[in-house]
Amino acid sequence: MTHVRTLLLTLVMSLSALLPAAAQSTDALTIATVHRPPFVFVEGAEVSGFSIDLMRAVAQEIGKDVEFAVFNSFAEMFEKVQNAEVDGAVANISITTERERLMDFSQPIFASGIKILMPNEASGLGLFSALLTWDIGLIVLSGLALLMCGGLLMWLFERKHQDYFNKPAREALFPSFWWALNLVVNGGFEERVPRSPFGRIFAVILVVASLFIVSIFVASITAATTVNALNSNVQNLRDLEKRTVGTVEGSTSANFLTANGLAFAQFANPDEMLSAFEQEQIDAAVFDGPILAYYQQTRGGGKSRLLERTYRPENYGIALPSGHALKEEIDQVLPNFRVDGTYDALLLKWFGNIYSPD
């Protein structure tokens, strides 16, 4: 009888231990997230996006329901993950050494990197604006004044020696200027060669001086356009030193800029950063390439350009509490999505031709 009681007690204890585990296996996963188009769109109570669809596919594959808890920032989201108050987090979460000390990560779900977004500066307009400067204007006016004075002097020397200059000063004003202009540009009129001694001496001086005048004018134009090109083009990080740069506070982009000794303005989220970019409060936005590419092809269309270079490659992953059993299940499922086409279908759905992971 004692043995029967012992057997029954053992059976009851085993069942009591299995029942919570069975209940836990059917519990819905709670996944934290933030608004980060096109990875996560939060519209009222609805959430969608690349990372959301991918997480739903993972949950379906491992036989779980999934619920999403929306937070205002990465800091809040990470706090919930570290305290195991949620089962994980998805968005555009970069896998970094610092974060891996505090959380676990799935295999990479997206290959990204830091890029630079600049205003869309049209080259033709840039050249036109470069020419419309006070320096260039002063050179042009000075050149016209010299030609006018030179023409009037030639009129003074030649008015009694050839019919072209034999006019009253008022009537000879433009013909004299035109003669000087042609002398400088074309070498003068063959039929209007100076005939007076002073006219011939002055014409020679004017031709020789014109070589220097034209050279100075061309050099000034070249210098102005070169300066404009240097100011309008950003090819590397050092080109950002004289610009107002913006990024999202606490992001890997902020750490990257700090490590490279660049000053920058910080914003609470990408929307605030991009709004500041539109209002010309910042000259350049440095952040995750796919998010900047999505903006450049949608809301920022025609107003912005994304530099081709990726300054620091990064991988996104699903963040999980340290030691969470879900990591192994997710890592078993993700490679299958690459094979059966699920992953490529999600890329095409949410990115199209906007951005392709490296």
pLDDT for residue 297 is more than 50: yes
Q: What is the pLDDT of residue 129?
A: 53
pLDDT digits (tens, 9 = 90+) for 198-218: 777 877 777 777 667 667 667
> 89-93, 188-192, 272-276: which has the minimum mean pLDDT?
188-192
Q: How would residue 318 be classed by pLDDT, with cut points 50, 70 and 90?
A: very high
Dihedral angle over CA of 308, 312, 318, 320, nearest 10: -160
pLDDT for residue 35 is more than 70: yes
Q: What is the pLDDT of residue 80?
A: 97
- Quick check: 94 and 312 in contact, CB under 8 A? no
Domain ranges of the chain: 2-109+317-350, 126-232, 236-306
pLDDT for residue 70 is more than 60: yes
Average pLDDT over residues 284-302: 92
- How far apart CA 162 and CA 91 sit, in angstroms, is 85
Q: Residue 325: CA atoms inside 13 Å, Cβ hemisphere, count? A: 5
- How far apart CA 343 and CA 61 sit, in angstroms, is 13
* Secondary structure string (H, E, C) spanning the chain: CHHHHHHHHHHHHHHHHHHHHHHHHHCCEEEEECCECCCEEEECCEEECHHHHHHHHHHHHCCCCEEEEECCCHHHHHHHHHCCCCCEECCCCECCHHHHCCCEECCCCEEEEEEEEEECCCHHHHHHHHHCCHHHHHHHHHHHHHHHHHHHHHHHHHCCCCHHHCCCHHHHHHHHHHHHHHHHHHCCCHHHCCCCHHHHHHHHHHHHHHHHHHHHHHHHHHHHHHHHHHHHCCCCHHHHCCCCEEEECCCHHHHHHHHCCCCCEEECCHHHHHHHHHCCCCCEEEEEHHHHHHHHHCCCCCCEEECCCCCEEEEECCEECCCCCHHHHHHHHHHHHHHHCHHHHHHHHHCCCCCCCC
CA proximity to 104, closest of 335, 330, 318: 318
pLDDT digits (tens, 9 = 90+) for 139-153: 678 778 877 887 788
Instruction: Answer yes or no: same fold for 2-109+317-350 and 236-306.
Output: yes
Q: How would residue 317 be classed by pLDDT, with cut points 50, 70 and 90?
A: very high
> What share of the chain in percent tops pLDDT 70?
79
Q: What is the pLDDT of residue 8?
A: 44
Average pLDDT over residues 347-355: 90
Average pLDDT over residues 19-40: 74
Q: What is the pLDDT of residue 251?
A: 94
pLDDT digits (tens, 9 = 90+) for 91-102: 999 999 999 999
CA proximity to 262, closest of 309, 311, 223, 302: 311
What's the CATH superfamily of 236-306? Periplasmic binding protein-like II (3.40.190.10)
CATH fold for the domain made of 126-232: Helix Hairpins (1.10.287)
pLDDT digits (tens, 9 = 90+) for 124-135: 444 455 555 666
pLDDT digits (tens, 9 = 90+) for 36-69: 999 999 999 899 999 999 999 999 999 999 999 9
Q: What is the pLDDT of residue 166?
A: 76
Q: How many CB atoms lie within 10 A of CB 149?
A: 13
**Is CATH 3.40.190.10 correct for 2-109+317-350?**
yes
Q: What is the pLDDT of residue 189?
A: 59
pLDDT digits (tens, 9 = 90+) for 214-272: 676 677 666 655 544 444 456 667 778 888 999 999 999 999 999 999 999 999 999 99
CA proximity to 303, closest of 165, 59, 104, 118: 118
